[in-house]
A and B are shown apart, each in its own frame.
Chain A
């Protein structure tokens, strides 16, 4: 009878005792191997694994002869992916979360007490490698020593805060004891996954070795044949970790940093700060009890649910690069046509990721700028040790440039980033079709033209696709993969694979104007412009939406994008969707006087040279248009802009622009930075309640100054899907 029998088991749970294996490689040494049959790819610490760990420890206690214990996974580079994320996502009852956590504590404590360092008779050694995140890392903290496989795939750390929770399986209590308060605080608050050398350096692990030697070395350490001393914190333990004053200092600095980054929207790091900072000064039992208490509100919080949901979505997005469960063939060599800011950055990113990129532009100067930019970006990363010298060399070598139609014969894809003119794009692809191999993918980075229209005149439209990167290419994590009417599945998968290889998250959209992200941004930004026209204080609007959780306010975003680009995008939306997308011309005078935003130093705001080459907002542009001031409430500001966007999202969903609400949410978070703690635009709507939103939209549609203007009523008239879901009491998310 195990302590876990009364907890919900997954459907495919194996019979008790089958998740862990005990091996006896020599007299006195035990191997405790995690090898759950129901998780053939990656083991996780789910309920059956915990149940069986308890049973395995029972058995080990009976082994009178044993002196050493090695805790390991089924392969040197495969231990466990941490706790079962699906199970955490499914927890709705805070008490249930607390029960689960305290039972894990009991088992981990049992393992810890078996160790010689805690009065037990076994020398316990964790021998792990590959990904060792979260719970997998926490169990190593219960062993006397940790030996880590020194391999490029190895990452170890406590990334829980990224999922809206904190290391509650003893990690928050044990890590500060092991590595000291400052290092533990940093590890837990950043959620950083450490490479082997870094992990050794902070003391998270005690020894590194090659994966092939992992079990041998761990066995030697466990049997006392090999010395593996643990670095003690020494005087630092007394002066820093246990010193309330130093603790207070660390807490203060961390809290300030966290508040600055999260604006208080994320409770998990604050909880972690409390527990971690006290851990060295209180008993382990008290610290663990604090973990149990703190997990109750967090595990069931909407923030955690949102972040876990997004994590799972981005994991699922990786499947887009697969065909029948197999990864689509990767691209080794690609062409980028158009050496502007976008094209240059796309080619540079490809080169950095090990894909040869041949960049073509008719203007040598544009190519020169692209190469020099690449040198600057790569040089900076080398200096910061983000790239090793040979990786930096490769990133420079792989970027080829040419003004001539030569050398494209071996390119497997061409990404076009030339002027947004249909005829130009058709011409470029027409020429490329003759230069590239017959099966090469023709991808357009258009943001305002139709993929089908571009494909129309080409001989093989099935290999034409949209690959919409966002500016700045290196920073924005989303790529819209725009599927034309005739685009083949294989081309979609291979293009998605390229996006993934470039470190981006792909989302497949239909070929409609603005695709998804720009289509949603259109009404959002336009409402913001209309608020300005109605006399809203610009700073207040920007602040309100920043507070809401957008990465920057709408006017700052307009200046960032450039008023010319934004205007162009708005008019193509207006052309496609008619009345509800009618663009407000309030800022047109700026456009006409060439004050386009950050790139010209002046736009809606004035941009001054700030620290580190960055531009600083120096207030409203005095030469810009002014309206009679009018006070808007924060609530109205948020509702007008965000609900305009939501209403358009409901329409897009109805038209099946993306596969479903989950993909739409992913796109809003990764494509426009929509508040991740809200889980995405539709998740936000679901939480707020669709009937309330429909009512609010109707109110806005009827409101004077909103509903009575040309684009107001159709924009706020609730979309049919929204009305239907609200009426049936349903949600966007099932």
Chain B
């Protein structure tokens, strides 16, 4: 490629368990903080941007096009347009691939891309009965009619609809995400011990990455809204448990399928808030801006699969992306698969290595290859650092890009499963000096 598309710069804020440190955060502020810092550090004149693209699954109700809110709050000049993209858990990755597609099509060259999610702020809604009640009440004109409408009140109307739960449930098959992981556990014969061990390793690796300073290379400390006097800035992902152990994990009860399921809150990703910002452009433009790119986008792919087995999405999409890039899994040094559930990542690992799966599902002669522990999620994953749904896709790209230099690899693969039965994958290449 003469002038490849690169991730010219990127950073992220620490990811925090929902409702705790970021309980008072909002997507506009969190996204704007990350975007503003990236603009400052790159020294970029905001008016040079062609567009701001933000991935977000649940934009706040008062910020429907949260991208525009973030752009303006980050000080991007008002002449620069902005739009929000959504592909559930891959929204942050979608922001980057949308930018890449625009660049390939010649529609712009410099894009500020973000993934942002504040699950702390997901609302509770009135149920249908309550909504109807209020609607009737509003229509009444006389005192008598009003009293009559009031008398129709029933306690059941107070039961809220929980956006978080409904948002994580696939409306086409009624399965909540955790249950799709249980399907995979049964399909691939994955046991509780195996899943717990994977979860424990995720925490250990994340802890090491934070302690070694590896994570500090992508994280900018953040003082959240609603901080109290004496609080310190958050400078690491707060879902990482220093004291996680197999014993503690074993004590947890299955969360989605009682009593025989294997998915617990300990071996699933947590509900999390976070924001990641990445600057996407052509190599030549990055050079002109005086930026040393983090990585080159070699290829990317989106793929669909069975919604009840959405967790296998990475296998389908990685097969396509690797084929596009003209390389094999063996050529790839660093792989990030989003850890939605330990069982789901373990299922992916088995599917990657299975000739049978390759033949039946991918139409390929042989398996994609082995995903050894030295290659897969070496800095831990979402089970430890959390999964702010709209932000994760961008976070995976940032972590993979930085891992190329940190682990001295030529190629990296960032991939994730997507609720609704999809997968997304991006092959990154270390940028030539």
Contact = CB atoms under 8 A, between A and B. Distances in A.
B227 A397 contact: no
Given A371-B223, A393-B73, A409-B43, A365 B232 contact: yes
A15 to B, nearest CB: 49
B36 A400 contact: yes
Interface string A23-61: 000000000000000000000000000000000000000
Contacts of A409: 43
16 contacts: A356-B36, A364-B233, A368-B227, A368-B231, A372-B223, A372-B227, A372-B228, A372-B231, A375-B225, A376-B229, A397-B33, A400-B37, A400-B40, A407-B37, A410-B40, A410-B43
A78 B228 CA distance: 46
B253 interface: no
Contacts of A396: 29, 225
A265 interface: no
Contacts of A375: 223, 225-227
A195 interface: no
Interface string B226-250: 1111111101000000000000000
A189 interface: no
Contacts of A407: 37, 40-41, 43
Contacts of A394: 73
A253 interface: no
A406 B36 CA distance: 13
B45 interface: yes
A687 to B, nearest CB: 47
Contacts of A406: 40-41
Interface string A364-380: 11011101100110000
A358 interface: yes
A376 B45 CA distance: 31
B225 A397 contact: no
B223 A368 contact: yes
Nearest to B229: A372
A358 B33 contact: no
A368 B223 CA distance: 6
Interface in A340-372: 356, 358, 364-365, 367-369, 371-372
Interface in A373-405: 375-376, 393-394, 396-398, 400-402
Nearest to A365: B232
Contacts of B41: 406-407
Interface residues of B, number: 25
Contacts of B33: 397
A144 to B, nearest CB: 37
Contacts of B37: 400, 402, 407
Majority-rule SS of B interface residues: loop
Given A407-B37, A407-B41, A356 B233 contact: no
A397 B74 CA distance: 7
Given A397-B36, A402-B40, 17 more contacts: A364-B232, A365-B232, A368-B231, A372-B223, A372-B228, A372-B230, A375-B226, A393-B73, A394-B73, A396-B29, A397-B33, A397-B75, A398-B75, A406-B40, A406-B41, A408-B40, A410-B43
B189 interface: no
Majority-rule SS of A interface residues: helix
Contact of B233 (A368, A400, A408, A410): A368
A410 B233 CA distance: 25
A396 B25 CA distance: 12
Given A365-B232, A368-B231, A375-B226, A397 B40 contact: no
Interface string B25-48: 000110011001100110101000
Contacts of B28: 393
A402 B233 CA distance: 11
Nearest to A374: B223
B32 A397 contact: yes
For this complex, into which size category does the number of interface residues on chain A fall? 20 to 34
A368 B230 CA distance: 8
Nearest to A356: B75
Nearest to A332: B75
Nearest to B46: A410
Contacts of A367: 223, 233
B160 interface: no
A364 B235 contact: yes
A414 to B, nearest CB: 14
What are the nearest 3 A-B pairs in CB distance? A407-B40, A409-B43, A371-B223
A371 B227 contact: yes
A393 B75 CA distance: 12
B191 interface: no
- Residue of B40, B41, B45, B73 contacting most chain A CB atoms (<10 Å): B40
A339 to B, nearest CB: 12
Interface in B41-58: 41, 43, 45
B123 interface: no
B417 to A, nearest CB: 34
B407 interface: no
B148 interface: no
B73 A397 contact: yes
A396 B28 CA distance: 12
A393 B225 CA distance: 10
Interface string A494-507: 00000000000000
A369 B36 CA distance: 20
B74 A410 contact: no
A394 B73 CA distance: 7
Contacts of A369: 229
B125 to A, nearest CB: 22
Interface string A603-642: 0000000000000000000000000000000000000000
A402 B36 CA distance: 12
A407 B40 CA distance: 4
B289 to A, nearest CB: 11
Interface in B1-47: 28-29, 32-33, 36-37, 40-41, 43, 45
Contacts of A364: 221, 232-233, 235
A356 B235 CA distance: 23
Contacts of A410: 40, 43, 45
A393 B232 contact: no
B238 to A, nearest CB: 15
A406 B44 CA distance: 12
Nearest to A398: B75
A408 B223 CA distance: 20
A376 B230 CA distance: 12
- Residue of A364, A368, A406 contacting most chain B CB atoms (<10 Å): A368
Given A394-B73, A397-B32, A358 B40 contact: yes
